[in-house]
Structure 1
Amino acid sequence: MTAQPPAPAANRWADAGLVSGEAVELDVRAARLGSRVLALLIDLLAQLVVALTLLAGLSVLMLVLPTHVVDAALAGALQTVLLVVVLVGYPVLMERFAGGRTVGKLAVGLRVVRADGGPVGVGQSLTRALVGVAVEWPGLVLPLLSWVASVTVMLADPRGRRLGDLVAGTMVVHTRGAGVWRPVPLAVPTLVGWGHTLDLTRLDDGLALAARQYLGRVHQLVEPERARLGQALWAEIAAVISPPPPWAAPASVYLAAVLAERHRRSVDRLRRTRGLTAALWPELAAPPVAVAAPPPASTGPAASPSVLRPAAPALAVPTQPDPVRGQPAPVDAERPAG
């Protein structure tokens, strides 16, 4: 069985180029411009919240300090410290204590790693943050020109790295899989009638699961292995079901028809079982009833015992005539001695 040939690096899922210690390429995707911009927008909201919180704290501090201490120089110094903490301290501390992730990266599913796939260090996080503040965002040096240069670098780099990543030797990767979900194909209309006549008593769960996995991954296989595996599975299933199909078709069409009929019968069986259970034991199918608070205890003759819901339906006990009293008595009743 052969999988699809490797696609170009620009179209592959595992495009990060990370290799494990056993020389196996890891199935990790490099983060591109779209996901990183989305993470940046979320981080900007988080930084705004941090900035407002710190600003409120500094305002309280300015009110507490003596009047002769508070001046324009102190206010300017505190504002500079605030900007450094928000723009540089926030990403460095988050990447240090959250495993290379900020709030935005956690939400989008991204992570900063070294170029070789190892965990990012504090020095590398600090370098990324300083380069980002200087020439990327907010871009203190030629803002518009630096923004265009940053976007150009990210689009041109095979791993989607920005200037800060190139300088620090890091990259951003996805932490979530990118599997493509494909539903199992349904039975073609011309085989539905044939499926209703099938005898599936000898089709076990393991063989049905193998057929279902084949249909779910058939798009990842190439010819002639795709047809060979489908024919092998259909040969095994055709040996345990009857009657044979009415006309010739690819093996995947037969497999889909058999699985669709098997699923239909399972659904019908479950529906009948639930209907029979509801008929024999209605308490199981009835919705739960809210129990009201019990009334105060009463010792008078008007007090009526509470009605309890039976835990199981009552079973009839077979009886036989009692030889002494001439009345029916339980089978397991004690008989008189001697």
Structure 2
Amino acid sequence: MSELVTGDAVVLGLRPAKLPSRALALVIDLVAVGTVFVLVSIGLAIATVTLDEAAMAAVAVATFLLVLVGVPIAVETLSHGRSLGKLACGLRVVRDDGGPIRFRHALVRGAMGVVEILATLGAVAAIASLVSARGRRLGDVFAGTLVVRERVPAGRAAAVPPPPPWLVGRFAGLDLSAVPDDLWLAVRQYLTRMHQLDAAVGRAMSERLAGELAARTGVPAPAGVPAAAFLAAVVNERQTRDARRAFAAAPAAAPLPHPAPLPHHAPPTHPVEASHTAPAQVAPARAVGRDGAAADPGAEAVRPSTGGFAPPA
């Protein structure tokens, strides 16, 4: 699944991760970090063999903090929530509002991970994830983060909900040429996932997207119209215009059939009739309108079709 972001780098269209996938990602991370810790410890033990016991203990504590705590924090900060295990399982750590995490979020998660994962062998983290409605451990609760799934089956993609009937066609004169594609993508993804978001988070996100859309079009949302309804109406207007352009270009692109050749009549064989009979001059038929006036002679050549798709007005 491709990553989608708004102008504030807000990730949409993702779902909270379950405990089995999080546990598998944690095992992969612990194996990787444990391997690095063992290798670094062996190297430091060889390098500090001449030091006394106090110095060796200090080096061991520093190695533990730097490798088992500092490395996961640095990886999550630099990768914006993707550790090695999460990358393998298609997971990612984001803020509660869907935005990317920063150093302080990773620091709180790493510090709490020492207590609920390393000190208790993951028992506290597992219990907290089972109790939480969104599968969050204590580190996520204190840091204000959430682990979500990035890879969602394509068959579960939802369609954009239609706007309220009283808003259909209300923005027909809106200029949409300055709206970038990434903003359209963010609006569409919000509309398809707005029922899965927290009410307060979804309301704030819809107001932010509506503000960005109003800034691009130069027309603010009408008073009394919810931000989500405004977004749905503008997206519906864009889809209507795209449909009109597509169906207007279809007849022009289709090749016209070649007219069938007229039957060839042989000239009269009677000599008297051929010499005394003048050839009849047939005047071209002209289309007559309803008021009796003659219409354009070429009007019959491009008579519009009476059937087929009629684009919405």
Alignment TM-score > 0.5, same fold:
no
TM-score normalised by length of structure 2:
0.45
TM-score normalised by length of structure 1:
0.41
More helix by share: 2
